[in-house]
């Protein structure tokens, strides 16, 4: 999405730090892990330049497997490697990883609870010009429904690096959703990622915005605008979508009148659904889901597409103000 200038306090502070795509942070983290651990193996399906696994492949060719254009076979091979005690990271674009190979992930990785890490890049509409065929807006839903699966959507490069290290130390299937576009840093300097724990920037008395991935920085912008208009808006980075941090959610729902979820994903089955499922059962609170409404993406620049689908600070502000009227 290019270098989106941040208008928030948080953003100004972090503007000194560079915007970095989460996929780039993944490539670096894999290199670090590869040096630390002999059991790490990496698989890709002919997209190692784009997913950034190619860096690992150059450094450790004997532990890197390019499977060619065959995602289903890649998941099977990753499963087999895990059965010999290796720790496989299998990467391709999110739509092919979770869509094309969904049944392989279900039948082998999840059913047998294998230690396979699925790290997909090019999620969401910010893939941009390639258009709908390459824009995964269903992947979180597809992975979240699977027993044994953990689903993580990092918000920036710092968090991505920590996520990759954290999942290497965790046994079990994990899906990590990364993006193509550069994202501004949002996590604070002392941030420490933990699987299943959300990060609350601020708990709002009027509204709390629960966001994942690139929508965290956009939610922070929206909260800043709302604050200037006298509305106390909180922001929660729900980077682990499964298992959901229900304690944080419950506290947020107790503090406010309205919850807004924000995701670069379909409003069906993703973060908005996960939050709605929990809140409606435990503390019914009004929830508005911002995301892609039962639609496909299309070609355009990342910025244009975010505007087209209403994934902007302005749209979050407008939605909140209307709901709180």
Partner 1 sequence: MRPEVNESDINFLKEKAKILRIEILKMLTEAGSGHTGGSLSAADILTALYFYKMRHNPKDPVWRERDRFILSKGHAAPVLYAALALSGYFDKPLLKTLRKLGSPLQGHPCSKLLPGVEISTGSLGQGLSIANGIAMGLKLDGLLSRVYCLLGDGEIQEGQVWEAAMTAAHYKLDNLCAIIDNNGLQIDGHCCDVMYIEPIVKKWEAFGWHVIDINGHEMKAIVNALNEAETIKEKPTMIVARTIKGKGVSFFEGKVEYHGMAPTHEELEKALEELER
Q: Which residues are catalytic?
A: 71
Of 87 and 262, CB closest to partner 1: 87
Cα–Cα distance between 234 and 224 in angstroms, integer? Answer: 9
Between 110 and 139, how does the x/- string for binding to partner 1 read (CB under 8 A)? Answer: -xxx--------------------------
Q: Are 180 and 134 in contact (CB under 8 A)?
A: no
Of 62 and 322, CB closest to partner 1: 62
Of 116 and 183, CB closest to partner 1: 116
Name the segment binding partner 1 (CB under 8 A); options: 70-78, 91-99, 168-176, 199-207: 70-78
Of 107 and 280, CB closest to partner 1: 107
Contacts 24+ apart (CB under 8 A), 167-171: 167/117, 167/195, 168/33, 168/37, 168/40, 168/87, 168/117, 170/195, 171/115
**Nearest-approach distance from CB 69 to partner 1, in angstroms:** 9
**Nearest-approach distance from CB 18 to partner 1, in angstroms:** 37
**Nearest-approach distance from CB 70 to partner 1, in angstroms:** 4
Of 108 and 285, CB closest to partner 1: 108
Place of tokens 């502070």: 13
**Nearest-approach distance from CB 148 to partner 1, in angstroms:** 10
Contacts to partner 1 from residues 165-194, by CB under 8 A? none
For partner 1 (CB under 8 A), the number of binding residues is 30
**Nearest-approach distance from CB 71 to partner 1, in angstroms:** 9
Indicate whether 73 belongs to the interface with partner 1 (CB under 8 A). Answer: yes
**Nearest-approach distance from CB 53 to partner 1, in angstroms:** 16
Indicate whether 142 belongs to the interface with partner 1 (CB under 8 A). Answer: no
**Nearest-approach distance from CB 75 to partner 1, in angstroms:** 7
Between 229 and 248, how does the x/- string for binding to partner 1 read (CB under 8 A)? Answer: --------------------
CA-closest candidate to residue 52, choices 33, 68, 34, 29:
29
Q: Largest alpha-carbon pair distance within the chain?
A: 61
Of 101 and 288, CB closest to partner 1: 101
Burial class (CB in 10 A: 0-12, 13-18, 19+), 247: exposed
Contacts to partner 1 from residues 75-114, by CB under 8 A? 75-86, 88, 103-104, 107-108, 111-113
Cα–Cα distance between 216 and 113 in angstroms, integer? Answer: 30
Of 87 and 141, CB closest to partner 1: 87
Between 7 and 46, how does the x/- string for binding to partner 1 read (CB under 8 A)? Answer: ----------------------------------x-----
In the sheet with 207-211, reading across from the earlier edge strand, the strands are 199-202, 233-237, 207-211, 258-266, 286-292
Handedness of CA 25, 156, 266, 127 (dihedral sign): negative
Indicate whether 72 belongs to the interface with partner 1 (CB under 8 A). Answer: yes
Q: Are 233 and 206 in contact (CB under 8 A)?
A: yes
CA-closest candidate to residue 275, choices 293, 262, 256, 257:
262
Angle between helices 246-255 and 271-282 (to 10 degrees): 70
Cα–Cα distance between 269 and 239 in angstroms, integer? Answer: 16
Cα–Cα distance between 163 and 148 in angstroms, integer? Answer: 18
Q: Are 234 and 261 in contact (CB under 8 A)?
A: no
Query: Residue numbers of the site for partner 1 (CB under 8 A)?
Result: 41, 62-63, 65, 67-68, 70, 72-86, 88, 103-104, 107-108, 111-113
């Amino acid at each position: 999405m290019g270098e989106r200038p941040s208008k928030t306090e948080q953003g100004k502070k972090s503007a000194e730090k560079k915007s970095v795509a989460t996929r780039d942070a993944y490539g670096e983290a894999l290199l670090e892990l590869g040096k630390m651990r002999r059991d790490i193996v990496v698989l890709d399906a002919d997209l190692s330049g784009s997913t950034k696994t190619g860096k690992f492949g150059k450094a450790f060719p004997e532990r890197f497997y390019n499977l060619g254009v065959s995602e289903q076979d890649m998941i099977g091979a990753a499963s087999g490697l895990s059965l010999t005690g290796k720790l496989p990271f299998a990467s391709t674009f999110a739509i092919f990883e979770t869509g094309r190979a969904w049944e392989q992930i279900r039948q082998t990785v999840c059913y047998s609870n294998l230690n396979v890490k699925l790290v997909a890049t090019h999620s969401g509409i910010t893939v941009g010009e390639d258009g709908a065929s390459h824009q995964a807006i269903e992947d979180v839903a597809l992975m979240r429904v699977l027993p044994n699966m953990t689903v993580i959507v990092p918000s920036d490069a710092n968090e991505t690096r920590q996520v990759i290290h954290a999942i290497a130390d965790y046994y079990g299937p994990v899906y990590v959703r990364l993006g193509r576009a550069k994202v501004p840093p949002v996590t604070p300097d002392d941030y420490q990622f933990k699987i299943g724990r959300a990060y609350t920037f601020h708990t709002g008395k009027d509204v709390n915005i629960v966001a994942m991935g690139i929508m965290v920085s956009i939610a922070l912008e929206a909260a800043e605008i709302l604050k200037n208009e006298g509305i106390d808006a909180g922001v929660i980075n729900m980077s682990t979508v499964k298992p959901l941090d229900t304690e944080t959610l419950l506290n947020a729902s107790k503090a406010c009148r309205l919850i807004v979820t924000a995701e670069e994903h379909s409003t069906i089955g993703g973060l908005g659904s996960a939050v709605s499922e929990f809140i409606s059962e435990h503390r019914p609170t009004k929830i508005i889901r911002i995301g892609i409404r039962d639609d496909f993406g299309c070609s355009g620049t990342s910025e244009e597409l975010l505007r087209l689908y209403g994934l902007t600070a302005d749209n979050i502000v407008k939605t909140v103000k209307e709901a709180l009227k």
